[in-house]
């Protein structure tokens, strides 16, 4: 099996672990702020944690297929590094969004967008 597949698997596991951790962080704030399910509003700390988790899930739907397409058709280590960059960007995003000034999420969002664009470019190049 090509090395690119193993590297994509590592990125996938890291992305899933991060998504689960952010879900746990959201649940922690739900309990701490006494927000009864299914409500998703009531305390800004919980709302920010919840949005961070949901936004990561929304991005994961795009990131994982692009990572695997780029790894399968472009190959090499570059898809791995872009996938890892996406995971790191989500951590930066989460830390930024946890701040009272939610504009601090911008750098993480921007880095993540660039990683997704890179994976998209590699996917297209690999398929041509």
- Do 52 and 89 touch, CB atoms closer than 8 A? no
- What are the structure tokens assigned to 106, written together? 């911008």
End-to-end Cα spacing for the chain = 22
Residue 84 φ/ψ region, left for φ over 0, alpha for ψ in the -120 to 50 degree band, beta for the rest: alpha
Q: CB-hemisphere CA count at 13 Å for 78?
A: 17
Domain definitions of the chain by residue range = 3-127
pLDDT per position as a tens digit, 53-107: 999 999 999 999 999 999 999 999 999 999 999 999 999 999 999 998 989 999 9
State the pTM of this model.
Answer: 0.95
Is CATH 1.10.3720.10 the right assignment for the domain spanning 3-127? Answer: no
- Do 52 and 94 touch, CB atoms closer than 8 A? yes
Only one residue has tokens 């969002």, namely 109
């Amino acid at each position: 099996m090509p090395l690119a597949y193993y590297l994509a698997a590592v990125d996938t596991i890291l992305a899933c672990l991060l998504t689960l951790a952010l879900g746990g962080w959201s649940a922690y704030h739900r309990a701490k702020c006494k927000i009864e399910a299914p409500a998703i509003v009531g305390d800004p700390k919980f709302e920010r944690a919840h949005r961070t988790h949901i936004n990561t899930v929304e991005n994961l739907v795009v990131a994982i297929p692009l990572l695997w397409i780029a790894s399968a058709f472009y190959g090499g280590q570059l898809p791995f590094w872009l996938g890892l960059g996406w995971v790191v960007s989500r951590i930066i995003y989460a830390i930024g969004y946890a701040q009272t000034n939610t504009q601090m999420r911008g750098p993480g969002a921007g880095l993540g967008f660039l990683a997704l664009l890179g994976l998209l470019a590699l996917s297209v190049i690999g398929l041509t």
